[in-house]
Amino acid sequence: MSAVETSERIGSTEARTTNGALDILGSIYSRTLTNRNVRIKDRKLRANIKRTDQKYKDAIRAAKSTELLLQEDAGFLEAEGMEKTYKFTQDELLKHVDVTTAHKGFELKLEHFGPYEIDYMRNGRKLLLGGRKGHVAAFDFREGTLDTELHLNETIRDVKYLHNDQYFAVAQKKYVYIYDKSGTEIHCLKKHIEVTNMEFLPYHFLLATVGNAGWLKYQDVSTGEQVCEFRTKMGPTTSMTQNPYNAIIHLGHTNGTVSLWAPNTSTSLVRILSHKGPVRAISVDRGGRYMATAGADAQLKIWDVRMYKEVHAYYTPTPPTALDISDRGLLAVSWGPHVTIWKDAFRTKQKSPYMTHLNPGSIVNDIRFCPFDDVLGFGHDEGFTSLIVPGAGEPNFDALEINPYQTLQQRREAEVHGLLNKLKPEMIALDPNFIGNVDPRAPEERKQALVLETTDETDKKISNADAKLQPKAKMRGKNSALRRYLRKKSKNVIDERKLRVEAALEKEKRMRQNSLKRRKGLPVDERKLGPALARFGKSQ
């Protein structure tokens, strides 16, 4: 049996063409070329465009040349002779991998609070577990250090990490709560009721939730405002995922449709009839090209999301419960107690899986690939299991983008940068490159749309301003120490202290009134002279 072997880089398959020039332009770094056969008349413009083209080519070449610096190579399990990769068990695999990798394959037996929902942090460092019966745990699974562990004594439907490991959201029985790293409850999102699924859009700082009522709600976690909410009109939502390429939310419904949503449109952008039964799980690959959907009709379908066309369809013996696609394009499907992992399942129809795993006796509930690692975690009825899946994770990371080895300082910087570069919710569209392009509409039509948009915004602002309460004259100091003294003191006795107290009270009152008048813009009767000189002035 062969151990994990390095094979050719899958990511660069696109770049592997015969022609040298095309090789560069067809690489992963290139962007779509528009058809420009028409000769440009203006010489200056022609020269300009030619120069831009050259720059573009140079940029691609330079980007491609940096591949030299990538330290790691990705590889998959390779079978020799009669062997089949799907026959390799985890035990066999663990014998052949290095110690640190073997350390990542583990099992947590948590029999009392299952089934478990899981979530990995974006950089793959931290793991968040949420047991249906109220158990929440956040920890670094490599080092085995626990961040927090909570027993909420309430149903938990989903857990989600926010932009870093400092905050996570938990969809509980009624509301969604946000906790910090130490397990302190920070926010209760009372507008998100009976949420079943959550997604976090890291570049927009948006937490999208959807629940049994079928309302899709976007909450900006940086400002705390709810950005928008839409009624799906399709009953309870059964599954949810985001397209990492364009931040579109994909929802699966009980009637077998998958709908695509963006915050700027109140209706779904696209609806796809995918299954005959409820859509149990959806997953979109990193490039935003393929979508996998699993339905209760025991089918698994692969869709080309760019064309909205079905590519392949598979049967599963029992209806699949969860799906996930790894960074390197492995597709993990769980059905009953089984986990099946498929390689290259999008382009070509596969006949046999890449790996399989049986988790006897407990049904798999949630399944996730760990980013930047060859690890697949799944939560099931009796806890959590971590599998080693060679070739699942992206071996090379961009430390400026997502850094698995982030220090405290880097985390802080990343947070600030993330907030500075935060994208607006309206920028989410099916084509994320639409910004700056020419509006295809006629100018008048566009103008109208612009006016509408701006008026909407201003209306909103005005209404918000109205909603804010006017500052009112608070009856402060009603029970101050001075008053209390006067109250307690017998009325008929007038001594020096009482006089002082009364004067002080009088002064306080005047100042209070003056400040109120000033706030309202009314004239203030101010005594020009201070208390020392007032007696020399005119008596009032």
Partner 1 sequence: MHVVDEFGVLVSAEISPGGGDGEDDSEDDRDESDDDETPSFSGVSDSEGSIHHTTATFSDIESDSVPSDLEEEEEDDDDDDDDDAIKSLQQAIEKASQKSEEDVVRIKKRKKLGLPTHFAPIVDDGEDIVPVKKKVTLDDIRAHTSSSFGTRSLARLDELEKRSKGKSEVVKSRLGRRLEVRVDRAAAYEIAKEEVGKWEDTVKRNREAEHLEFPLQRSGGAATADITGALDLGDELDSEKLVHGLEGREFSLAEVIARRNELRRMRELMFREEMKAKRVKKIKSKTYRKIHKRERERAQEIAAQLEGESGDEDHEDSYGRLVKHARERMELRHKNTSNWARDVKRMNLHKSKGTRDELEEMLRRGEDLTRKIEGDDDDISGDDLPNINDDEEATEEASGIMAMKFMREAEERLRKQNKESIDELRRMEDGRDGETEEDTDSAVKIINEGRRRYAPGAQESKYAAQESVEQSIEADDAPVGLERKMASIAVKDADSVSTISKTQTSKKGEPKSSKASNPWIQDVDPGSVAKGASVLSLSKDSTRFAKTEARLKRSRRKAKKAVQAVEDGEAEVRIDVNQILQIRDVHGDPDAEANPVNGEDSHVMMVHKGGRRAKPAEFQQRELVKRAFAGDDVAREFQEEKQKTVEDEGDKEVDVTLPGWGSWTGKGVRKPQKKFIQKIEGINPKNRQDSKLKNVIINEKAAKKSAKYTAGAVPFPYETREQYEHSLRMPIGKLWSTQATVQRLTKPKVIVKPGVVVEPLSAPFAT
Q: Contacts with partner 1 in 83-122 (CB under 8 A)?
A: 86
- Say which amino acid occupies 373: D
Binding part of the chain for partner 1, among 18-26, 45-53, 365-373, 475-483 by CB under 8 A, reads: 45-53
Contact 284, 305 (CB under 8 A): yes
Q: Smaller CB distance to partner 1: residue 136 or 279?
A: 279
- CA–CA dist 187, 226 (Å, integer): 13
- Any contact of residue 45 with partner 1 (CB under 8 A)? yes
- Say which amino acid occupies 182: S
Q: Among residues 319, 391, 393, 395, which is the contact residue for partner 1, using CB under 8 A?
A: 319
Contact 134, 148 (CB under 8 A): no
Least spacing, CB of residue 344 vs partner 1, in Å: 14
* DSSP for residue 360: T
Q: Smaller CB distance to partner 1: residue 79 or 499?
A: 79
Q: Smaller CB distance to partner 1: residue 131 or 263?
A: 263
Q: Smaller CB distance to partner 1: residue 188 or 399?
A: 399
Q: Smaller CB distance to partner 1: residue 71 or 100?
A: 71
For the segment 1-40, give every residue that binds partner 1 (CB under 8 A).
31-36, 38, 40
Q: Smaller CB distance to partner 1: residue 75 or 336?
A: 336
Least spacing, CB of residue 363 vs partner 1, in Å: 15
**DSSP-based three-state secondary structure for 509:** helix
**DSSP-based three-state secondary structure for 188:** strand
| C-alpha dihedral, 409 to 412 to 416 to 417, nearest 10° | 60
Binding part of the chain for partner 1, among 364-372, 375-383, 429-437, 517-525 by CB under 8 A, reads: 429-437
Binding part of the chain for partner 1, among 123-131, 314-322, 403-411, 459-467 by CB under 8 A, reads: 314-322
Q: Among residues 112, 151, 190, 349, which is the contact residue for partner 1, using CB under 8 A?
A: 349
Stated as kind and residue range, the H or E segment containing 55 is helix 43-65
Binding part of the chain for partner 1, among 7-15, 159-167, 397-405, 485-493 by CB under 8 A, reads: 397-405
Q: Among residues 446, 497, 518, 527, which is the contact residue for partner 1, using CB under 8 A?
A: 446
Least spacing, CB of residue 275 vs partner 1, in Å: 8
Query: Which whole-number Å values give the CA distances from 201 to 178, 181, 221, 263, in the listed order?
Result: 15, 19, 10, 12
Q: Among residues 1, 22, 62, 462, which is the contact residue for partner 1, using CB under 8 A?
A: 62
Whose tokens are 């001075």? That residue is 482
Binding part of the chain for partner 1, among 100-108, 120-128, 312-320, 362-370 by CB under 8 A, reads: 312-320
The residues near 427 (Cβ < 8 Å, ≥ 6 apart) are: 204, 435
Least spacing, CB of residue 427 vs partner 1, in Å: 6
- Any contact of residue 359 with partner 1 (CB under 8 A)? no
- Any contact of residue 59 with partner 1 (CB under 8 A)? yes
Q: Among residues 2, 12, 52, 458, which is the contact residue for partner 1, using CB under 8 A?
A: 52
Q: CA angle, corner 407, sides to 405 and 409, nearest 5?
A: 150
Least spacing, CB of residue 451 vs partner 1, in Å: 10
Least spacing, CB of residue 462 vs partner 1, in Å: 19
Whose tokens are 């009325």? That residue is 491
Binding part of the chain for partner 1, among 100-108, 175-183, 224-232, 446-454 by CB under 8 A, reads: 446-454
- Any contact of residue 50 with partner 1 (CB under 8 A)? no
- CA–CA dist 540, 530 (Å, integer): 14
- Any contact of residue 437 with partner 1 (CB under 8 A)? yes
Residue 291: φ, ψ to 5° = -125, 135
For the segment 400-419, give every residue that binds partner 1 (CB under 8 A).
400-401
Tokens (6 digits) for 67:
């591949």
**DSSP-based three-state secondary structure for 86:** helix
- CA–CA dist 505, 37 (Å, integer): 86
For the segment 237-276, give every residue that binds partner 1 (CB under 8 A).
255-257, 262, 264-265, 267-276
Q: Smaller CB distance to partner 1: residue 1 or 449?
A: 449
Number of residues that bind partner 1 (CB under 8 A): 90
Binding part of the chain for partner 1, among 205-213, 387-395, 396-404, 491-499 by CB under 8 A, reads: 396-404
Least spacing, CB of residue 45 vs partner 1, in Å: 5
Of 203, 264, 214, 273, the residue nearest 240 (C-alpha): 214
Tokens (6 digits) for 248:
């579109």
For the segment 141-200, give every residue that binds partner 1 (CB under 8 A).
none
Least spacing, CB of residue 507 vs partner 1, in Å: 54
Q: Among residues 333, 364, 367, 376, which is the contact residue for partner 1, using CB under 8 A?
A: 333
Contact 301, 321 (CB under 8 A): no
Residue 327: φ, ψ to 5° = -60, -35
Contact 366, 320 (CB under 8 A): no
- Any contact of residue 54 with partner 1 (CB under 8 A)? no
- Any contact of residue 55 with partner 1 (CB under 8 A)? yes
The full 3-state SS of 202-253, as one line of letters, equals CCCCEEEEEECCCEEEEEECCCCCEEEEEECCCCCEEEEEECCCCCCEEEEE
Query: Which whole-number Å values give the CA distances from 5 to 16, 79, 324, in the listed order?
Result: 21, 10, 24
Give DSSP secondary structure letters for 163-174.
Answer: SSTTEEEEEESS
Q: Smaller CB distance to partner 1: residue 103 or 411?
A: 411
Site string for partner 1, 275-294 (x = CB under 8 A): xxx-----------------
**DSSP-based three-state secondary structure for 116:** strand
Least spacing, CB of residue 378 vs partner 1, in Å: 16
